[in-house]
């Protein structure tokens, strides 16, 4: 069980340690593997409406996620989130907790649905988890992701209605 709370400035060093290896790997996020720390800070903490951290019982950062409108103005009632779990916290339910928390947070912020725009098809654990948590694959984008190890692979658009 982790404690999920809003990101604070003092969390950045630990957050960067969690997200940097994921961005560098080029397997699940479309950000450049050469992204700078400053660019990552902006996309992970400044652009989103809110950023959260999941802190484990030992006070270590287990994961992080952001929430933001998926589109401006007339599409802003649908949110988008990005989640990353640290290597040492994988397979402990952290992603599940963050996703469940983010859905409640989204509802509290007035969002009516959640959409993931580019879920890499080879990220089987994430696809399976999002489906388990009620997300549907509403579209397949053929060869839309340039995976650094596997080359061009499909990506999914996944969606879940949060309220009516």
State in words which class domain 3-161 has.
alpha beta
Predicted model pTM: 0.96
Strand 50-55 relative to strand 113-120, pairing: unpaired
Residue 157 has pLDDT above 90, yes or no: yes
Residues 103-112 have pLDDT tens digits of 999 999 999 9
> Can you give the residue ranges of every domain in the chain?
3-161
Residue 60 backbone phi and psi in degrees, to 5? -85, 155
**Interval 5-25 mean pLDDT:** 97
Residues 83-92 have pLDDT tens digits of 999 998 998 9
> What is the helix (H) or strand (E) element at residue 158, kind and residue range?
strand 151-161
């Amino acid at each position: 069980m982790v404690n999920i709370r809003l990101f604070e400035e003092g969390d950045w060093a630990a957050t960067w340690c969690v997200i940097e290896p994921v961005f560098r790997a080029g397997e699940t996020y479309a950000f450049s593997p050469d992204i700078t720390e400053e660019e990552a800070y902006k996309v992970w903490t400044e652009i989103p409406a809110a950023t959260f951290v999941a802190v484990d019982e030992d006070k270590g950062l287990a994961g992080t996620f952001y929430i933001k409108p998926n589109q401006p103005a007339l599409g802003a009632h649908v949110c988008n989130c990005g989640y990353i779990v640290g290597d040492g916290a994988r397979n402990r339910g952290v992603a599940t907790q963050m996703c469940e928390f983010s859905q409640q947070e989204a509802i509290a912020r007035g969002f009516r649905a959640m959409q993931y725009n580019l879920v890499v098809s080879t990220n089987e654990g994430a696809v399976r988890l999002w489906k388990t948590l009620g997300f549907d694959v509403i579209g397949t984008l053929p060869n839309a992701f340039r995976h650094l190890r596997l080359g061009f692979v499909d990506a999914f658009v996944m969606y879940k209605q949060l309220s009516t």
